[in-house]
A and B are shown apart, each in its own frame.
Chain A
């Protein structure tokens, strides 16, 4: 088991954002979380990093309890996040942003890792000396994914990677997710408002509503489920 959340509660300020979450991610799986805005998807991802810390429950990553571990220590154990809104460092160059992904990685792997990221996203190679803030939204998303991959994570979290992107980049993002999983065996937890695409690419999925898991199943099961169809697919992004 790569990741287990057991009865996790978390508060965001005065808001009780997560109310007893049980989620499991197995090695090599793509798992997706779908839900409306404000359902707690991003909080769930951030709570894995202890920001906010779980007020109750347990989070186990790769066999170790990380519920009370510091955020930067959790990152060093092998979880990488492509956050909502990308959060690249705008006043650093593209290459410096990628180097930030290696804050805790083995320097011996640097050349191989940077070559791998540039092969995946040739546009980043072309723009490597450019300030990241000058990139387009889609390019910034590629940079955020590349930065997360630089540390060779065991578990990759993607928070709304297709949000606000042009269709060509949305296709690219889902293609990358498939490739990473299929060719590199990367375990992925994906949060998406694009429920249709997300469920198609995922092995399993969870539906999050008001901080609680209301439905769980394989991607195909959830795609076929009447509740999911009514709430997230029809009239939505399908």
Chain B
């Protein structure tokens, strides 16, 4: 029982991070109908930006943890959004209006480019940072097993919940959110109503990158190490989460992320830890075969 509770906490933490990355996939798919395969690498870049920011802080002898985290978050969000913007501008916008496959191939190319450029500039070894937040709260001191929620885990879960509420509010209640949804449903009509579609798409990429940046900072703090390849697996898992929830659906991405995190944790805890990735990707296969529109997605065919 205590063990299961601990897995639940670990799974929620993992799921929160997958959910944050999955939103980037689902929003971009919603607005331009493509899978941005470079999104996982944007997440990886954000983790490296976080490492750099932490290093600068350490050199400047900053010891206040809240101050340090805020600084790193702001820096990472800022630069990662710039990356998101630049990727869309250089790799996808010139291909808008061409075949569906072209931007997809361009995305894979961008993914390889980002991985290799980080490997070249930062090296192929893992980069560690000193522990930022240690310890946590003991929830239950059961005989033989202590259930604990780490400060980092708490930070990740709370930040994610706050961000998702804020994000849902923005998409459903603000003029920008309305314009974003309008572009999803009928881009030409949106432009005929005075919406700057290119700008809306750029902002969507930047927002997706900003959320990935939050996940990147959290991962850096949580695991304490990053390398140039983390974007690949995290990206594909977040993509699986987006597909499981229903690609194009925001609540779906959040739910999907949570489920993938929980499944992975429990699978690793009770079945075979070495096969946890297999479990995730089997889910991807099953969803694609049995319910391609996902848990909360709309079926492709729509009444007109």
Which residues of A line the B interface, CB within 8 A? 49, 51, 70-72, 75-76, 80-81, 83, 87, 89-92, 96, 99-101, 103-104, 133, 147, 151
Whether the pair A91, B185 counts as a contact (CB closer than 8 A) is yes
Is B61 on the interface with A (CB-CB < 8 A)? no
Closest-by-CB residue of A relative to B191 is: A71
Whether the pair A75, B303 counts as a contact (CB closer than 8 A) is no
Listed A/B pairs (14) with beta-carbon separation below 8 Å: A51-B192, A72-B195, A75-B194, A81-B192, A83-B192, A89-B181, A89-B185, A92-B181, A100-B179, A101-B193, A103-B175, A103-B193, A104-B193, A133-B303
Q: Which residues of the other chain, A, contact B186 by a CB distance below 8 angstroms?
A: 87, 89
Whether the pair A103, B302 counts as a contact (CB closer than 8 A) is no
Q: Which residues of the other chain, A, contact B179 by a CB distance below 8 angstroms?
A: 100, 103
Q: Which residues of the other chain, B, contact A151 by a CB distance below 8 angstroms?
A: 193-194
Q: Which residues of the other chain, B, contact A76 by a CB distance below 8 angstroms?
A: 194
Q: Which residues of the other chain, B, contact A90 by a CB distance below 8 angstroms?
A: 185, 302
Interface flags for B167-204 (1: CB within 8 Å of A; 0: not) read 00000000100110110011011111111110000000
Closest-by-CB residue of B relative to A50 is: B191
Whether the pair A96, B178 counts as a contact (CB closer than 8 A) is yes
Q: How far is the CB of A72 from chain B (nearest CB, A)?
A: 5
**Complex-state Cα separation, A117 to B126, whole angstroms:** 62
Q: Which residues of the other chain, B, contact A87 by a CB distance below 8 angstroms?
A: 186, 188-189
Residues of B within 8 A of A (CB-CB), count: 19
Whether the pair A75, B188 counts as a contact (CB closer than 8 A) is no
Q: How far is the CB of B141 from chain A (nearest CB, A)?
A: 50
Count: A-B pairs, CB below 8 Å: 61
With A89-B186, A90-B185 in contact, do A72 and B197 touch (Cβ < 8 Å)? yes
With A92-B178, A99-B178 in contact, do A51 and B185 touch (Cβ < 8 Å)? no
Q: Which residues of the other chain, B, contact A81 by a CB distance below 8 angstroms?
A: 192
**Complex-state Cα separation, A101 to B190, whole angstroms:** 9
Q: How far is the CB of B244 from chain A (nearest CB, A)?
A: 21
Closest-by-CB residue of B relative to A96 is: B178
**Which of the listed residues B182, B193, B197, B303 has the most CB atoms from chain A within 10 Å of its own CB?**
B193
CB within 8 Å of A: which of B211-247?
Answer: none
Q: How far is the CB of B56 from chain A (nearest CB, A)?
A: 41
Q: How far is the CB of A94 from chain B (nearest CB, A)?
A: 13
With A72-B195, A100-B178 in contact, do A51 and B189 touch (Cβ < 8 Å)? no
Whether the pair B194, A103 counts as a contact (CB closer than 8 A) is yes
Whether the pair A71, B178 counts as a contact (CB closer than 8 A) is no
Q: Which residues of the other chain, B, contact A101 by a CB distance below 8 angstroms?
A: 193
CB within 8 Å of A: which of B266-304?
Answer: 302-303
With A90-B185, A92-B185 in contact, do A100 and B190 touch (Cβ < 8 Å)? yes
Q: Which residues of the other chain, A, contact B194 by a CB distance below 8 angstroms?
A: 72, 75-76, 103-104, 151
Whether the pair B188, A100 counts as a contact (CB closer than 8 A) is no
**Complex-state Cα separation, A48 to B270, whole angstroms:** 65
**Complex-state Cα separation, A49 to B190, whole angstroms:** 12
Instruction: From A71, A91, A99, give the contact of B192 (CB < 8 A).
Output: A71
**Complex-state Cα separation, A103 to B303, whole angstroms:** 27
Q: How far is the CB of B289 from chain A (nearest CB, A)?
A: 27
Q: How far is the CB of A219 from chain B (nearest CB, A)?
A: 27
Q: Which residues of the other chain, A, contact B196 by a CB distance below 8 angstroms?
A: 70, 72
**Complex-state Cα separation, A49 to B192, whole angstroms:** 7
Q: Which residues of the other chain, A, contact B197 by a CB distance below 8 angstroms?
A: 72
Q: Which residues of the other chain, A, contact B189 by a CB distance below 8 angstroms?
A: 83, 87, 89
**Complex-state Cα separation, A220 to B196, whole angstroms:** 41
**Which of the listed residues B189, B190, B192 has the most CB atoms from chain A within 10 Å of its own CB?**
B192
Closest-by-CB residue of B relative to A49 is: B192
Whether the pair A89, B192 counts as a contact (CB closer than 8 A) is no
**Complex-state Cα separation, A100 to B178, whole angstroms:** 7
Whether the pair B178, A51 counts as a contact (CB closer than 8 A) is no
Q: Which residues of the other chain, A, contact B195 by a CB distance below 8 angstroms?
A: 72, 100, 103
Please provide the 7 A-B residue pairs with the shortest distance between their CB atoms, ordered closest to farther: A104-B194, A75-B194, A71-B191, A87-B189, A103-B194, A76-B194, A89-B185
**Complex-state Cα separation, A83 to B192, whole angstroms:** 9
**Complex-state Cα separation, A51 to B188, whole angstroms:** 9
**Complex-state Cα separation, A100 to B181, whole angstroms:** 10
Interface flags for B20-34 (1: CB within 8 Å of A; 0: not) read 000000000000000
17 further interface pairs, Cβ-Cβ under 8 Å (given A51-B192, A89-B182, A103-B195): A70-B196, A72-B191, A72-B196, A72-B197, A75-B192, A75-B194, A76-B194, A83-B189, A89-B186, A91-B185, A92-B182, A96-B178, A100-B195, A101-B193, A133-B303, A147-B193, A151-B194
